[in-house]
Structure formats: C-alpha cells, structure tokens
C-alpha cells in the first residue's frame, strides 16, 4: 500500500478468528433469554433476582433525564436466579471466567454458599452455572460439589476449582438457538 508521502506500508492479513457465535453476550444475558423462553413455553418460571440497592442521591441534568450519583447495596444478595420447575424450587448462581485453568472461589461469597445450603436443606435444587469463556464451555456444577471445594479452601486446599475438576464433576450445558443455556435439560437428568 502506498501512502501520499511516498512511503510503502506492507499489507498485513490478520488470521481468521475461530468463532463469533456468542461474541458480546454475557452468560447472564443468555440465561435471561433462556428463562424467558422457558416461561413463554410454559416449562418453568425462573427469574433473575434484582440486586437490592438504596438510591441516595439523584442528579437531574435535564427534566427528562435522571442520573443516580450515589447508591448503596441494602443487603448482600443471595444467588442470581430462582423459580419453580416441575414442582421443585430451583435456586442458582451464574458465573463466568476468562481463566483457562480454574474458577476462583473468590467469585462466590460466603452468604451465597449459606443460602444454597439452606435451599438444599429444605428440599430445593441448587447449583452454579459456570462458563469458561476461553473454551466457550458452560457447565452445571452441583451445589454439593461446590460445598466440598468451598470447605477445602479453609483446610489448606485450593482457592479455586480447576477446569479439569469442573469437567469431571460438572455437567455440560447444551447450547441451542432459542435455549442458549439449556440448563433444564441437565436438571432433568440430575435431579428429576
């Protein structure tokens, strides 16, 4: 390629990237679409829980626009999603990581683990949906397996769950056009 000043610039061709199928979508966006589909089809009623926030200060730059300038979390939220499926209460957390080798347990909070323990104690179904973005792989990881990993970190164990451990104990969640994170197909096999 020639520039106006007479210099030559070599044309570089970038290698083709592998997959753009879900670029830009987050795990939560895909789960939201999936739960909407489940609800419309009459399969389940599962919703994302709102984060409890207390708005303290609002700035009005124009009459038609409001900007929240100060807000605080009212309380620690529990898990991301809850609902009912085939007469069973379902409660789960959704997490994704760019890490290729493990999922850091620091991404889960102690109050969330306690909440999941209470759900199971009362006969509900609880799990975590983990996505490894580097591989575009999504797994349903049972809460009971999470509890073991959680407790081991306090007894000198790892502070993360290895990718291989998730592959071994977790259950792959299939991707479909309308059910991008079809976790209910896995719930059927594991719990019902």
DSSP code of residue 134: T
Helix, strand, coil share of the chain (percent; to 5): 30, 30, 40
DSSP E strands in 7-124: the ranges are 45-48, 53-62, 65-73, 81-85, 88-97, 102-104
Angle between helices 143-152 and 110-121 (to 10 degrees): 140
3-state secondary structure 12-31: CCCCCCCCCCCCCCCHHHHH
Task: Answer left, alpha or beta for residue 47, where phi above 0 means left and psi between -120 and 50 means alpha.
Answer: beta
pLDDT one digit per residue (tens) for the chain, 192 residues? 455 555 565 555 555 444 444 444 699 999 999 999 999 999 999 999 987 778 888 888 887 788 888 887 776 778 999 999 999 999 999 999 999 999 999 999 999 999 999 999 999 999 999 999 999 999 999 999 999 999 999 999 999 999 999 999 999 999 999 899 999 999 999 999
The predicted pLDDT at position 114 comes to 97
Instruction: Tell me if 80 is assigned to a ligand binding site.
Output: yes
Domain ranges of the chain: 27-49+76-191
Instruction: Tell me if 145 is assigned to a ligand binding site.
Output: no
Architecture per CATH, 27-49+76-191: 3-Layer(aba) Sandwich (3.40)
> 88-97 and 125-132: which strand pairing?
parallel
Instruction: Tell me if 112 is assigned to a ligand binding site.
Output: yes
């Amino acid at each position: 390629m020639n520039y106006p000043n007479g210099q030559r610039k070599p044309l570089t061709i970038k290698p083709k990237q592998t997959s753009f199928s879900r670029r830009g979508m987050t795990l939560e966006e895909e789960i939201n679409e999936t739960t909407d589909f489940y609800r419309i089809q009459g399969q389940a009623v599962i919703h994302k829980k709102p984060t409890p926030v207390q708005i303290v200060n609002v700035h009005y730059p124009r009459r038609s626009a409001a900007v929240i300038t100060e807000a605080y979390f009212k309380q620690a939220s529990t898990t991301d999603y809850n609902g009912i499926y085939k007469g069973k209460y379902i409660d789960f957390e959704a997490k994704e990581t760019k890490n290729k080798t493990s999922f850091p347990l620091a991404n889960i909070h102690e109050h969330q683990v306690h909440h999941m323990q209470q759900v199971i104690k009362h006969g509900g179904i609880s799990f975590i949906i983990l996505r490894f973005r580097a591989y575009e792989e999504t797994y349903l990881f049972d809460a009971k397996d999470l509890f073991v990993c959680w407790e081991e970190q306090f007894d000198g164990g790892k502070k993360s769950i290895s990718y291989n451990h998730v592959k071994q104990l977790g259950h792959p969640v299939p991707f479909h056009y309308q059910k991008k994170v079809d976790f209910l197909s896995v719930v059927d096999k594991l719990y019902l």
